[in-house]
Amino acid sequence: CSPQQGWNITVDLVIGPKGIQQVTSKDAKPTCLAEFQDIKSIRCSGVEDGQALLQLGLSGTPQSLAIKTSSLAEAENMADLIDGYCRLQGGSETSLIVFPRKDREKRISLPQIPAPNLGERHSTLSHSVSGDSEIYAEILDESSRPRSGIQHYGISRDDVTLGRILGEGFFGEVYEGIYTTPKGERINVAVKTCKKDCSPENRDKFLREAVLMKKLDHPHIVKLIGIAEEEPTWIIMELYPYGELGQYLEQNRLGLAVPTLVLYALQVSKALAYLEAINCVHRDIAVRNILVASPECVKLGDFGLSRYIEDEEYYKASVTRLPIKWMSPESINFRRFTTASDVWMFAVCMWEILSYGKQPFFWLENKDVIGVLEKGDRLPKPDLCPPVLYTLMTRCWDYDPRERPKFQELVCSLSDIYLMEKELAKEQERNHRHRPPKILEPPAFQEPPPKPSRPMYKPPSQNNLLAPKLQFQVPEGLCASSPTLASPTEYQSPANSRRTPPPSRHNVFKRHSMR
């Protein structure tokens, strides 16, 4: 960036507890440009070539400290960081950031939601900014929030019968139950309870989810039935027997094909497109917050972190527990939540679905996630994920929120991918069904393999067969080289041997004896 206060030079800025400092070289000592207690206003504006200008109004001087950045998003990120330090050190809840109205259409990073009239009963934010910064609001403790907005949704606790415990949430246990309607109809329900010792602040946060859910009407969003406001407070919702999607994926991974997984992602994207249309950010999109109504239908739930926002504005979270490994970089760094940050989280949720319930970045600790994202590393492609779907995920994980697709575009893309995967699965099944058995397949005519060569026969040596000093001498008459056997003329056939009398024993004996 380039500080512009009478000069124009490119430097590295260091924004930390000691103020705003500049570093011109690695060996140089940081030079303080401004301290946070001296900053009175912060303004961002776009300039030529996509660059932006961050102007800091300082006390005691009419000239502002101007910092030129490469993009408007970078300038607004710096403005949020500086504004946070100013409010932290000054103990003020009022933001110092001022956006001119003429730049409203140029803003990409959305500002914080302004507070509505309390009589509207549709939001839980209270106004806490000065008149010159009307687009910012801070989340306050709302223990005094009127509760008339939920009285219309109240049901009698006597109409609900609790059963077994399904699980435990942040505020209390979740039970299986049966709700008897005024017409006598019995409905299986899930009952979220709030602990008796819960503080009024947490109780209002617990009821906030019910107030928001009652306004939602979508086939892929969990349906709220009613609220029992008396202590202990209950939120009664429809019961989905298959439970959370994360556990369902782990238990049924062998029976879930890729088209079904893409169908789940498509249905969740439709629910989020509905929230996008009514300017609502969810902030906690994960398989643990998706319920399985049937093997072919899932529903988005758990709106405990959801908030309404206004057009072209963003919601800035207060200090609370947030799912770091699912969050976008701007949400981790600046607690900024928009529909673009929901798009990032939805892509992480798709990764969970295609990974059959694995936790994202399970090999990292929460504190190390932002460093990995800043380097440009992203979650790897799941084994069974179609390449075109992973490409769509990477678009959702763009560091710049402006480059991420909208949910309406994601619905169209996922619809095409689902139809493609469904047709591919049908074709594979058709080919497998019409393939003849292996025993009926014609044999492949190939040349026979060469015969194995026989080893050369080596007659054993006599030394190996006979004992030492033992010699064996074959009679001369049995040798093949004997003249008696080698000559054909001297060989007598069996026929001739019958006519010729054998030599007398006496002559043979005499011949031998003569020798």
* Digit-coded pLDDT (tens) for 415-428: 999 999 999 999 88
* Domain contains 147: no
Q: Six-digit token pair at 352?
A: 């969970």
Q: Tell the residue number behind the tokens 């179609």, with chain if given.
A: 386
Q: What is the CATH number of the domain that holds 77?
A: 2.30.29.30
Residue in 227, 241, 250 with CA at minimum distance from that of residue 299 = 241
Strand order in the sheet with 31-34: 12-16, 19-23, 31-34
- The C-alpha angle with vertex 419 and arms to 414 and 425, in degrees rounded to 5, equals 120
Q: Quick check: 125 and 113 in contact, CB under 8 A?
A: yes
The highest-confidence range among 148-157, 380-389, 493-502, by mean pLDDT, is 380-389
pLDDT at residue 259, rounded to an integer: 96
Q: Between residues 24 and 131, which one has the greater pLDDT?
A: 24
Residues 74 and 183 in one domain: no
CA–CA distance, 282 with 303 (Å, rounded to integer): 6
Q: What is the CATH number of the domain that holds 159?
A: 3.30.200.20
DSSP letter string, 168-231: E-SSSEEEEEEEE-TTS-EEEEEEEE--TT--HHHHHHHHHHHHHHHT---TTBPPEEEEE-SS
Tell me what the mean pLDDT of segment 399-425 comes to: 95
CA–CA distance, 335 with 322 (Å, rounded to integer): 9
Residues 274 and 400 in one domain: yes
Looking at the 3D structure of the chain, how many domains does it have? 3
Catalogue the active-site residues. Answer: 284
Residues 167 and 41 in one domain: no
Residues 231 and 247 in one domain: no
CA–CA distance, 404 with 396 (Å, rounded to integer): 5
Q: What is the CATH number of the domain that holds 337?
A: 1.10.510.10
Residues 159 and 235 in one domain: yes
Residues 225 and 295 in one domain: no
Tell me what the mean pLDDT of segment 88-97 comes to: 76
Residues 291 and 198 in one domain: no
- The C-alpha angle with vertex 357 and arms to 352 and 363, in degrees rounded to 5, equals 75
Tell me what the mean pLDDT of segment 380-404 comes to: 95
Q: Between residues 183 and 381, which one has the greater pLDDT?
A: 381
| Torsions phi, psi for 239 (to 5 deg) | -100, 130
Domain boundary among 90, 113, 138: 90
Residues 234 and 252 in one domain: no
Residue type at position 204:
D
- Report H helices in 35-194: 72-90, 148-151
Domain boundaries, position 171: 154-239
Q: Quick check: 411 and 266 in contact, CB under 8 A?
A: yes
pLDDT digits (tens, 9 = 90+) for 466-515: 455 555 555 555 555 555 544 455 555 555 555 555 555 555 444 554 54
pLDDT at residue 308, rounded to an integer: 56
CA–CA distance, 259 with 354 (Å, rounded to integer): 10
Q: Quick check: 20 and 82 in contact, CB under 8 A?
A: yes
pLDDT at residue 329, rounded to an integer: 93
DSSP 8-state secondary structure symbol assigned to residue 376: T
**Residue 29 labeled ligand binder:** no
pLDDT at residue 184, rounded to an integer: 86
Tell me what the mean pLDDT of segment 182-207 comes to: 82
Q: Could you tell me which residues come within 8 angstroms of residue 183 by beta carbon, excluding any fewer than 6 positions away? A: none
Which residues lie across from 156 on neighbouring strands? Answer: none
Tell me what the mean pLDDT of segment 150-159 comes to: 72
Residue in 456, 64, 419 with CA at minimum distance from that of residue 263 = 419
Q: What is the helix (H) or strand (E) element at residue 14, kind and residue range?
A: strand 12-16
Global pTM value: 0.61
Residue 335 C-alpha from the chain's centroid: 20
pLDDT at residue 486, rounded to an integer: 47
Residue in 224, 360, 228, 200 with CA at minimum distance from that of residue 291 = 224
If DSSP states are collapsed to H, E and C, what string results for 435-475? CCCHHHCCCCCCCCCCCCCCCCCCCCCHHHHCCCCCCCCCC
Q: Between residues 234 and 47, which one has the greater pLDDT?
A: 234
* Domain contains 394: yes
Residues 403 and 425 in one domain: yes
Domain boundary among 431, 452, 476: 431
CA–CA distance, 167 with 145 (Å, rounded to integer): 29
Residues 58 and 79 in one domain: yes
pLDDT at residue 46, rounded to an integer: 79
Length of the chain as a residue count:
515
Q: State yes or no: pLDDT of 381 exceeds 90.
A: yes
pLDDT at residue 142, rounded to an integer: 37
* Domain contains 503: no
CA–CA distance, 436 with 88 (Å, rounded to integer): 74
Q: Between residues 73 and 373, which one has the greater pLDDT?
A: 373
* Domain contains 494: no
Proportion of the chain above pLDDT 70, given as a percent: 68
Q: State yes or no: pLDDT of 119 exceeds 80.
A: no
413 falls in which pLDDT band (50, 70, 90)? very high
pLDDT at residue 220, rounded to an integer: 94
Tell me what the mean pLDDT of segment 77-86 comes to: 82
* Domain contains 228: yes
Q: State yes or no: pLDDT of 47 exceeds 80.
A: no
pLDDT at residue 123, rounded to an integer: 33
Q: State yes or no: pLDDT of 175 exceeds 60.
A: yes
CA distances from 250 to 150, 255, 288 (A): 37, 10, 12
Q: Between residues 469 and 77, which one has the greater pLDDT?
A: 77
Tell me what the mean pLDDT of segment 421-445 comes to: 74
Cis-peptide, bond into residue 146, ω within 30° of zero: no
Strand order in the sheet with 65-69: 2-4, 65-69, 52-58, 39-46, 97-98
* Domain contains 466: no
Proportion of the chain above pLDDT 90, given as a percent: 28
Q: Tell the residue number behind the tokens 């099944």, with chain if given.
A: 429
* Domain contains 336: yes
Please count the CA atoms within 13 angstroms of the CA of 309 that sit on its side-chain side: 30
Domain boundary among 431, 466, 493: 431
Q: State yes or no: pLDDT of 326 exceeds 90.
A: yes
If DSSP states are collapsed to H, E and C, what string results for 329-377? HHHHHHCEECHHHHHHHHHHHHHHHHCCCCCCCCCCCHHHHHHHHHCCC
Handedness of CA 305, 109, 393, 221 (dihedral sign): positive
Residues 347 and 412 in one domain: yes
pLDDT at residue 227, rounded to an integer: 87
pLDDT digits (tens, 9 = 90+) for 297-321: 999 987 665 565 544 444 445 445 6
Mean pLDDT rounded to a whole number for the chain:
75
* Domain contains 103: no
pLDDT at residue 132, rounded to an integer: 35
pLDDT at residue 182, rounded to an integer: 86
Q: State yes or no: pLDDT of 51 exceeds 60.
A: yes
Q: State yes or no: pLDDT of 134 exceeds 50.
A: no
Residues 425 and 381 in one domain: yes
- The C-alpha angle with vertex 123 and arms to 117 and 127, in degrees rounded to 5, equals 50
Tell me what the mean pLDDT of segment 351-374 comes to: 93
